[in-house]
């Protein structure tokens, strides 16, 4: 079975699908690996791939013409789709719901397409989750971009001329990218705040040094939350407990909630916050954003438009010289004023909309991506050789498997992904999504 690694030709894409380290492992497992010349740019040279056991071919046609499985990073261009063969397997970032016509063309050519955005967020698929690997890099870069763009120190510093205050940084969205941004800003010495609509993220953010913005905590600080009153038995219960019948010292379950039991019951169902609390949180965010020096937004939903978290009014309430770094710029932006790939200045606030941040760190991004791809390739292939020292590798397209069923969005001439099919029906006929 041959694996092909073409050079990425999408503008601004500096990563590569497999690095020599991973190629060496695949070759030992019995795969043949074809790499287009120059695929690894200046950081993974052709001779590095040859030393790892790969065959370097001079053009993309040689890769697409011979490989059984293609590993890319970015989605293929029209020219690349034209070079693909029937029954060939493609693994890359496809984002089917945003590019349904591209998926349709792949299906029409008989290509089996695996989309990295569709990897399920389960423990079994964690080692294959390239989206999380790239999100970690994007969060890291967002924190650095914000610190580099701010016209002041991030940490508190004492100098002969006096002491400067630590910058206040708000991270909106506490997933992989948000958690990485929190960690980096905390290490830089900034005062970090965080918010997410999911209750379970509060503890995660706080564990990395952030103060979670929570309207219930604010009320508690103001003394508006009822204090816990310890239960004391009275009457017959008091008498019986004094005689050694300690079960009478326990509060009646139909009248009191025993501390700890309520939490145990809640763990059986996913905790959610009420609409009323979420509205109070939003009002609190509007107030707290006025204090911030940097706001980093990281809320992304694969295949959908990014939710608006910071509107024009919120931007105008921020201090002059403040910075917004919008990680979701490519998906429409979490800030109402974001322009993808541009820096917009509004009301003395700069809104930065970076695109493809993982590609700005191609060495580590390619290493992490390649490891994810090795694990995914191992999952979707099988060795049928009967002898221990031999290899007979074939695709294993078991659609009863959750990972394969979720990630394979086109196979056998059909689009398997429901969201992509719906997007295709809604797309205008003249629209070209690639």
Which of 126, 305, 347, 418 does the annotation list as catalytic?
A: 126
Contact between 35 and 57 (Cβ < 8 Å): yes
Which of 68, 129, 196, 326 does the annotation list as catalytic?
A: 129
Which string of b and e fits 364-376 if b means at least 16 CB within 10 Å? ebbbbbbbbbbbb
Q: Look up residue 253 and give its two tokens.
A: 């379950």
Instruction: Please tell me the distance from the alpha carbon of residue 276 to that of residue 237, in angstroms, as a whole number.
Output: 40
Which of 59, 87, 219, 246 does the annotation list as catalytic?
A: 246
- Check if 121 is active-site: yes
Query: In 3-state terms, what secondary structure has residue 237?
Result: helix
| DSSP letter (8 states) at residue 175 | S
- Check if 416 is active-site: no
Q: Look up residue 39 and give its two tokens.
A: 């695929």
Instruction: Please tell me the distance from the alpha carbon of residue 363 to that of residue 367, in angstroms, as a whole number.
Output: 6
- Check if 241 is active-site: no
Which of 121, 219, 283, 384 does the annotation list as catalytic?
A: 121
DSSP string, 309-340: -B-HHHHHHSPTT-EEEETTGGGT-SBTT--T
Residue 387 neighbours by CB distance under 10 Å: 7
Count of residues for the chain? 434
Instruction: Please tell me the distance from the alpha carbon of residue 137 to that of residue 361, in angstroms, as a whole number.
Output: 8
Tell me which residue of 368, 389, 390, 393 sits closest to 379, measured CA to CA.
393
| Residues assigned a catalytic role | 121, 126, 129, 132, 246
């Amino acid at each position: 079975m041959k694996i092909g690694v073409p050079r990425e030709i999408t503008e601004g894409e500096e990563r590569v699908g497999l690095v020599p380290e991973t190629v060496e492992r695949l070759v030992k497992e019995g795969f043949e690996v074809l790499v287009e010349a120059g695929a690894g740019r200046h950081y993974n040279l052709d001779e590095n791939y040859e030393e790892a056991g790969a065959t370097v071919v001079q053009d993309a046609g040689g890769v697409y013409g011979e490989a059984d499985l293609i590993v890319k990073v970015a989605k293929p261009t029209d020219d690349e789709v034209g070079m693909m063969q029937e029954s060939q397997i493609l693994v890359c970032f496809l984002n089917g719901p945003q590019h349904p016509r591209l998926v349709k063309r792949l299906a029409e050519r008989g290509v089996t397409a695996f989309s990295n955005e569709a990897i399920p967020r389960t423990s079994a698929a964690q080692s294959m989750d390239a989206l999380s690997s790239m999100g970690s890099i994007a969060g890291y870069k967002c924190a650095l971009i914000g610190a580099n763009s701010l016209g002041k120190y991030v940490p508190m510093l004492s100098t002969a001329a006096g002491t400067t205050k630590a910058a206040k940084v708000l991270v909106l969205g506490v997933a992989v990218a948000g958690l990485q941004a929190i960690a980096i800003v905390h290490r830089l010495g900034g005062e970090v705040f965080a918010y997410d609509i999911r209750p379970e993220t509060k503890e995660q953010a706080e564990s990395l040094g952030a103060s979670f913005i929570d309207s219930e905590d604010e009320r508690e600080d103001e003394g508006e939350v009822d204090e816990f009153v310890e239960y004391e038995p009275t009457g017959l219960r008091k008498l019986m407990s004094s005689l050694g019948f300690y079960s009478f010292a326990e509060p009646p379950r139909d009248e009191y909630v025993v501390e700890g039991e309520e939490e145990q019951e809640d763990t059986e169902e996913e905790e959610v916050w009420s609409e009323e609390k979420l509205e109070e949180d939003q009002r609190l965010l509007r107030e707290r954003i006025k204090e911030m020096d940097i706001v980093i937004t990281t809320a992304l939903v694969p295949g959908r438009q990014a939710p608006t978290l910071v509107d024009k009014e919120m931007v105008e309430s921020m201090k002059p010289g403040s910075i917004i770094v919008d990680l979701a710029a490519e998906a429409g932006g979490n800030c109402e004023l974001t322009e993808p790939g541009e820096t917009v200045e509004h009301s003395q606030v700069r809104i930065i909309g970076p695109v493809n941040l993982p590609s700005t760190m191609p060495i580590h991004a390619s290493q992490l991506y390649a490891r994810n791809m090795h694990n995914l390739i191992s999952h979707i292939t099988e060795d049928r050789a009967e002898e221990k020292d031999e290899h007979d590798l074939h695709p294993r397209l078991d659609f009863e498997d959750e990972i394969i069923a979720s990630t394979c969005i086109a196979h056998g001439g059909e689009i398997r992904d429901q969201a992509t099919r719906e997007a295709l029906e809604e797309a205008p006929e003249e629209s070209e999504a690639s």
